[in-house]
Amino acid sequence: MSTLNAPPYPTLVEALWPHAGAKRRLLLLLSASLLVALAARVTIPLPFSPVPITGQTFAVLLVGALLGRRMGALAMLAYLAEGAAGLPVFAGGVGGPAVLVGPTAGYLYGFVAAALVVGWLCERGWDRRPVTAALAMLAGNAVIYLFGLPWLALFIGPERVLAAGLLPFIPGDLLKLLLATLALPAGWRLLAR
């Protein structure tokens, strides 16, 4: 039987707290949105692009892997709601509804779908081994770009979108993928002890 059709495995957080009540789940959800907000503070502006290099994608993919598809996606929705309310949670410490219609909005909406996809894969055990953990993170990154690039093209044109919204981010994405690939299976090994 393929791991895509396998019954769901517990996520790392579920394995640590198998009977988390509503308060603990809410705390986990808000903590996850805070993690993404903190990762957004790691920002490197690019002079040729409205999209900065940030730590957000690593945090988003990690949240999906740790919390699973439902809680991960809910945490990202909470993150977007916090930013829409004006909290300074987005890249560069900004917030407000204007960000959710600006050039980077597609990437932000992609965070929800990416957490859902990575969480779904990890619920099927993909976070247990380095190769499948890397593939889960790669899938999550692809989902973010599937949302972000078409939206960005509306602002800068399709002829510039790859140079401004994808290519400069590949080295960092590969590094984040490597870190997550090492962190997730290592977390499971520690838990097993």
Task: Give the model confidence (pLDDT) of 42-98 as tens digits.
Answer: 999 999 999 999 999 999 999 999 999 999 999 999 999 999 999 999 999 999 999
If you count them, how many residues does the chain have?
193
Structural domain tally of the chain?
Answer: 1
In the predicted structure, residue 174 carries a pLDDT above the cut 60: yes
Greater confidence (101 vs 16) lies with 101
Q: Is residue 132 part of a domain?
A: yes
Q: Is residue 186 part of a domain?
A: yes
- Per-residue confidence at 177, pLDDT binned at 50, 70, 90? confident
- The string of DSSP codes covering 7-33 is PPPPPHHHHHSTT--HHHHHHHHHHHH
Question: What's the CATH code of the domain at 104?
Answer: 1.10.1760.20
Q: What is the mean pLDDT of residues 181-188?
A: 75
pLDDT attached to residue 3: 53
The stretches of the chain forming alpha helices (DSSP H) are 12-16, 22-40, 56-84, 105-122, 130-156, 161-165, 170-192
Q: For residue 47, what are the domain limits?
A: 16-192
In the predicted structure, residue 146 carries a pLDDT above the cut 90: yes
Supply 178's token pair.
Answer: 């490597």
Q: Is residue 6 part of a domain?
A: no
Q: Is residue 1 part of a domain?
A: no
Q: Is residue 187 part of a domain?
A: yes
